[in-house]
Structure 1
Amino acid sequence: MATFVLVHGGGHGGWCYQPLVGVLREAGHEVYAPTLTGLGERSHLLGPHVDLGLHIEDIAAVLRYEDLRDVVLVGHSYGGMVITGAADRAAERVGKLVYLDAATPAGGQSLVDIAGPIMNEARKHGKVVDGIELVLLPSPGAGAFYGPADPDVVAWMDERLTAHPWPCFEQPLELTDEDALRAIPQYHVVCTSTLATRDPELVAGARKAGRLWDIDTGHDLMITEPRAVADALLEIAAAQVPGWTVCSK
């Protein structure tokens, strides 16, 4: 049995993993899908203190207080920033890192550094509320921006998406033990459409090592293709050595 900790991206919450959690639990695995402070059902905790550092501590605290070991730590989109920081803080608890169509930062980088044009465009449509700059503002049909086309799925998402504090995206990632972090095997499950926008060296290295999956769907692949994502995660959890065959869905 594997233990998965699934970290969501910007504007989302642990709710976005419901379809994937069901598949993984049916297969007999332990799954946690925490919501980051200030988002989803924790949006009432929004304040000027919410930033990348706090979100990293959110996940490090889950690993620590649940006493989790050999975790498959998965991050979607902005969640890639968070899992990198959490693994840096608690490397002894993380067995594998999985970047789910996610940012793959180096120390000192922010999400704006990695995806500047997209993030700066989002900022143009944000607003300041009670002194907090918010982006990814919910609006009717906003769920479709993340890839789903089914009207029922979009409506389900629209009821749950929340605004996201801009400081999370602007704050650089601080690493404390890069050697321990880089010793953790890293895997990449990405959307086919985003492959061309990713670091060619990273993609080539992951593909050569058998640590790259691409799924032909929208950005919120855990919602639109939960079975394909689960298949990839189960293969990753079962992998014992590098160099196994790449799987493309």
Structure 2
Amino acid sequence: MQVFILVAGAFTGAHVWRETAARLVAAGSAVHAVPLTGVDPARPGEAAHVSLETHIEDVIAAVDAVDVTSGREIVLVGHDYGIHPVLGAADRRAERVARVVYLDCGMPQNGVPALAAVPDQALRARLTERLEAGEREGVLAPPAPDEWERWGSTDGVSEAALKRLTALAAPQPLRTLTQPLRLAGAVAAIPVTGVLCARNGATIDLVQMRVDFGDPALAVLTEPQVSFFELPTGHWPMLSCPEALADVLLRAAAGEGHRLRPTGEDAPVPAHLRPFPLDVPEVPRDRKGHVDLHVPEGGSPRPAVVFVHGGPVPAGARPSPREWPTLVGYARLAAAEGLIGATLDHRLHDVADYERAASDIAAGVELVRADARVDADRIALWFFSGSGLLTADWLTQPPAWLRCLAASYPILAPLPAWGMTGSRFHPAKAVGQAGPLPVVLLRAGREAPEIAATVEAFVTAADACAARLELVDVPNGHHGFETLSAQEETRPALHHAMRSVVTHLTR
């Protein structure tokens, strides 16, 4: 028999688990939703004295109350901020805990406070400033009804449930977010299940992609004791789909779930390192700083296409993105059309790095334009996947030398969990300022719904302002269709899109 100990996220109490807990009990499990001191009305406390350590003790008390000698297995479930006290308790009671479930949350590390996982980047910066000014105590006010999206997608949550969530929300003691999590290491031996909420921007495919990129922090996720589930909902599945969540928790407790594909010599070649689908001839490559120029033979100056890889990509990934077969393939395809194809590396290692990546790209473009072999007045930019947000800078009053902007399976609005509500990287808002700039958009028909929604919002905005948008559809294409989809459909789309870009550069 499983005993589920459920720990809610910031501002919320044990009440959010009501429907999920009822379904778990109906299935024969025991459930204890932990009221956290100073947040849950069932356990009041003075905010100035409530810290992460206080909440760890709350969870430990719940663990110690279970009679494990009767054969009952404890499954600790942490949602959002709740994973921090869950891990703190599990580390000290590892012998009593059978499994830890990460419910749509990050991977807290030893010595790092929960503040680092606050999704709203602007709020995180303001709280950091308060700390640096010496403000260590106090509370963080709960979100207003229209502010919950800053903490995660409310997809699937009914209006009534959202009103109830707001009405019962409580201030979060600051020290619960600022006190570092301290782990001795015992928790590492406990089996783990991650439950990802796709509408909040986290999917199994995206995690696998990060693992394939070689992120060392994620290598642990490929171990046999780690499994995953994915729910097609927003950040609060206990409110949007409690029955589905209960089913997933029961399956997790039974050891079920998807296992990630490991990396290494015996592992399959990851998608980003598979061959480009077109047979394109090699051309000389000239490396300048963080830019590679693929230059065809013959006269110059020539127009150039700068290809901007997606991400986030972990720092130190090898080979670096500008050497990936897809990017090199595109650059050689451009060279075969008589253009100079340029690939570049930028430092989009985390969703907080878009400012830095934008600076790297601007510097790379200037390196390309300064080359004597390049016609500096005829440049195209071509973005992929997560770099799609970076198109916003170039859509906003584009320079005269930018003759075309292209994007393949782009993400065209920040995903909810990225915490970028107030950032400038919103292409749908910027396209109204693009003027006559031609935009070529390669759209994957089998795109993840949460990404496809950002593309459709962009297309709608482009239509509303009569932007010069050309859509190139790959109906059965997946995200990263060059290496993941049928070549007989992908090849014509690539040729079509490249010919469009060439036309805009040479007319």
TM-score normalised by structure 1 residue count: 0.83
Instruction: Tell me if the contact between 1:56 and 1:82 (Cα under 8 Å) persists in the aligned partners.
Output: yes
Instruction: Name the structure 1 match of 2:193.
Output: 187
SS in 1 for 2:193: strand
Instruction: Name the structure 2 match of 1:133.
Output: 138
Residue identity over aligned pairs, in percent, reads 31
SS in 2 for 1:211: strand
Shift of 1:113: 2.7
Instruction: Name the structure 1 match of 2:254.
Output: 238
Aligned AA (1:169)? L
SS in 2 for 1:57: helix
In structure 1, how many angstroms separate the alpha carbons of the residues matched to 2:252 and 2:238? 16
1:22 and 2:22 are equivalent in the alignment: yes
1:220 and 2:248 are equivalent in the alignment: no
Instruction: Name the structure 2 match of 1:49.
Output: 49
Instruction: Name the structure 2 match of 1:157.
Output: 165
In structure 1, how many angstroms separate the alpha carbons of the residues matched to 2:8 and 2:77? 9
Change (3 A) 1:245 1:140: closer
Give the number of the structure whose alpha-carbon radius of gyration is greater. 2
Deviations 1:64-120 (A, max 9, x none): 134455301000000111111000111111000000012321211112234472651
The aligned length equals 237
Change (3 A) 1:220 1:121: farther
Change (3 A) 1:207 1:118: farther
Change (3 A) 1:59 1:118: farther
Q: Which moved more, 1:133-142 or 1:153-162?
A: 133-142
In structure 2, how many angstroms separate the alpha carbons of the residues matched to 1:214 and 1:156? 25
SS in 1 for 2:202: helix
Instruction: Name the structure 1 match of 2:124.
Output: 120
Gaps of 5+ in 1: none
Shift of 1:34: 1.2
If asked which structure has higher relative contact order (CA below 8 Å, sep 6+), I would say 1
SS in 1 for 2:243: helix
Deviations 1:159-217 (A, max 9, x none): 211110111111111113x0x21110011001113327869336676478461111121
Aligned AA (1:36)? L
Gaps of 5+ in 2: 131-135, 212-216, 260-507
Instruction: Name the structure 2 match of 1:7.
Output: 7
Instruction: Tell me if the contact between 2:88 and 2:181 (Cα under 8 Å) persists in the aligned partners.
Output: yes
Q: Select the residue among 70, 74, 78 that pairs with 1:75.
A: 78
Change (3 A) 1:152 1:6: same
Q: Which moved more, 1:60-69 or 1:6-15?
A: 60-69
TM-score normalised by structure 2 residue count: 0.43
Q: Which moved more, 1:226-235 or 1:8-17?
A: 226-235
1:95 and 2:98 are equivalent in the alignment: yes
Deviations 1:8-67 (A, max 9, x none): 110000101011001101111100001100012146313311011110011011111344
Instruction: Tell me if the contact between 2:47 and 2:138 (Cα under 8 Å) persists in the aligned partners.
Output: no
Aligned AA (1:47)? A
Shift of 1:140: 4.1
In structure 2, how many angstroms separate the alpha carbons of the residues matched to 1:182 and 1:120? 28
Q: Which moved more, 1:42-51 or 1:213-222?
A: 42-51
Shift of 1:245: 4.3
Q: Which moved more, 1:136-145 or 1:109-118?
A: 136-145
Deviations 1:143-162 (A, max 9, x none): 56651542111122122111
SS in 1 for 2:162: helix
Instruction: Name the structure 2 match of 1:174.
Output: 182
Change (3 A) 1:143 1:22: farther
CA RMSD of aligned residues (A): 2.9
In structure 2, how many angstroms separate the alpha carbons of the residues matched to 1:213 and 1:47? 35
